Amino acid sequence: MVLKQWFDNKAVNSLTDDGIDWPRVIPYILLHLTCLFIFVVGVSWIAVVIFIASYILRMFAITAFYHRYFSHKSFKTSRVMQAIFGFIGTTATQRGPLWWAAHHRHHHKHADTEKDTHSPRHGFLRSHTLWFLTKKNFATNEERVKDLAQYKELKWLDRYDVIPPILYAFFILMIGTYIEHVHPNLGASKWQILIWGFFVSTVLLSHVTFLINSLAHRWGYRTFNTDDDSRNNPLLAILTLGEGWHNNHHKFPASVRQGLRWWEIDISYYFLWLMEKLGLVWDLRKPEVAKIREHKL
């Protein structure tokens, strides 16, 4: 029964217990422990390149699509594009797009109150990881994401969210196999590419994303008065391709651009701007300059 729950989220009954769901924590722990194999497989420059590319691709899928598109509808795109980036986002092991968006919409509605499931007011560890490991936060509340639940492909990703990471890991392994056999002069093995390109990349990506919950409501500066503790954090903004401008985001949650000053680097927005020029996304929503000035502290 436990094994089935790992692959089919519908096999888990609706739970209200706030305790840790230990059987489902096992894959999460194993994901971290596998990273220790870096001391066995070593490192090469090509492994680092694939690690960085894997990190950026999936971080963009999380920040631009899971967050700005699925959660906030800050731009429009085609059904094909939302499915593609929904799949890529799911490979980051942060659950499916419906689950992610449902919890994030709830967060904005109750930010830093008792109903906010991952406010750092409940403690750093709870905010960083423990909240999504609890039984009561496992199920997807489709009432919060009715606009997304109408798409069968997104519901499939949400139900079988463990399958895309497995397929992605296999894809990275195939890249590693090609490099090992066709370009042996690069000094990389398929296992080295897999460990760095999938496991290390995934764990780092996950914890950097979690820091938006645990640190971006505690550490940084505030440009706007908001009803929560959100902060702008330049370091997190770089690591998350723009999500660190969190106080800006909480003031203008529907804005596709979160870096509102010229020096507030927002890489996800720059990518989306380029995709707009290519006709892949459109109707990017941004607050008016006058409104930004009006609301500044």
User: What pLDDT tens digit does each residue of the chain (297 aa) get?
Assistant: 556 777 778 777 666 777 888 888 889 999 999 999 999 999 999 999 999 999 999 999 999 999 999 999 999 999 999 999 999 999 999 999 999 999 999 999 999 999 999 999 989 999 999 999 998 899 899 999 999 999 999 999 999 999 999 999 999 999 999 999 999 999 999 999 999 999 999 999 999 999 999 999 999 999 999 999 999 999 999 999 999 999 999 999 999 999 999 999 999 999 999 999 999 999 999 988 767 877 776
3-class DSSP state for residue 188?
coil
| 7 in a structural domain | no
Q: How many residues does the chain have?
A: 297
Range of the domain at 105: 38-223
- Tell me the β-bridge partners of 35: none
pLDDT at 220: 96
| 297 in a structural domain | no
| 202 in a structural domain | yes
List of residues 6+ apart from 40 with CB closer than 8 A: none
User: Which own/partner contact pairs does 228-232 have at CB distance under 8 Å and 24+ positions apart?
Assistant: 228/111, 228/112, 229/111, 229/112, 229/119, 229/120, 229/121, 230/111, 232/264
Indicate the pTM of the whole model. Answer: 0.95
| 280 in a structural domain | no
3-class DSSP state for residue 76?
strand
User: How large is the C-alpha radius of gyration of the chain?
Assistant: 19
Task: Please tell me the distance from the alpha carbon of residue 289 to that of residue 65, in angstroms, as a whole number.
Answer: 24
Counting the structural domains of the chain, the total is 1
| 131 in a structural domain | yes
| 277 in a structural domain | no
Task: Please tell me the distance from the alpha carbon of residue 276 to that of residue 51, in angstroms, as a whole number.
Answer: 27
Is 246 within 8 Å of 42 (Cβ atoms)?
no
Sign of CA dihedral 53, 56, 60, 61: positive
| 33 in a structural domain | no
| 203 in a structural domain | yes
